[in-house]
A and B are shown apart, each in its own frame.
Chain A
């Protein structure tokens, strides 16, 4: 089954304790992205990756790191989590557009609910 998986689904941690949220897709997609969802703010992009070893900042990258060493995986790293990073996180993937003005449907993972105390 084609899917995007995230782990863990739920995580409660304390301020300053490094954590990693994993994301994996089995569709051979080049493009992967992380979003955070907060009440009243919708989803905002944190980081994205156009392909292996190619990553770039989204709209709210502060306090996050990512890496893309393999095509299928795109982990989100919080080196020193703070309470304002308490949120619902979504990973998404798609084929990369080959032409400017192109479109490829994004597939979303089930989400990771993170609480930082």
Chain B
């Protein structure tokens, strides 16, 4: 069974500061990993994904994440936070097998607050 742990349900940073949102996963097979963002009153938007290949993945809006197999981690970072980054972020994992390869297991989410 897969699972995702997001450390910190709320993270607050100053505008211009580094954003670091933590995600650890467990999976019995090489996983597919995702970060989704949810802006207030909106659906989920895919930020970035890791499937195979390069372990450092770049996404939209200046975000990136690094897949570290030895640490079972997929932390999300952005060098300089912007006010528009304030949102809830979800890490998700798929094993490519469950549900015909399409099931996503989500973490509990991290609410990012950006302060002036």
Contacts and interface: CB of A to CB of B under 8 A. Distances in A.
B26 to A, nearest CB: 15
Interface in B24-46: 29, 32, 36, 42-46
A101 B29 contact: yes
B108 interface: yes
A68 interface: no
A43 B42 contact: no
Contacts of B82: none
Contacts, number: 76
B102 A44 contact: no
A50 B43 contact: no
Given A31-B102, A103-B51, A103-B96, A40 B46 contact: no
A105 B49 contact: yes
Interface string A21-62: 000000000010101000011111100101000001010000
B102 A43 contact: no
B97 A100 contact: yes
Contact of A101 (B43, B90, B96): B96
Contacts of B109: 42
26 contacts: A31-B102, A33-B99, A33-B103, A42-B106, A42-B107, A42-B108, A42-B109, A43-B44, A43-B90, A43-B92, A43-B106, A48-B102, A48-B103, A50-B100, A56-B99, A90-B44, A97-B96, A102-B96, A103-B32, A103-B51, A103-B94, A105-B46, A105-B49, A108-B44, A111-B42, A111-B43
Interface of B: 4, 6, 9, 29, 32, 36, 42-46, 49, 51, 90, 92, 94, 96-97, 99-104, 106-109
Given A42-B90, A45-B104, A96-B101, 16 more contacts: A33-B99, A33-B102, A33-B103, A35-B106, A42-B109, A43-B90, A43-B106, A44-B106, A48-B102, A58-B103, A92-B104, A100-B96, A102-B101, A103-B49, A103-B101, A106-B102
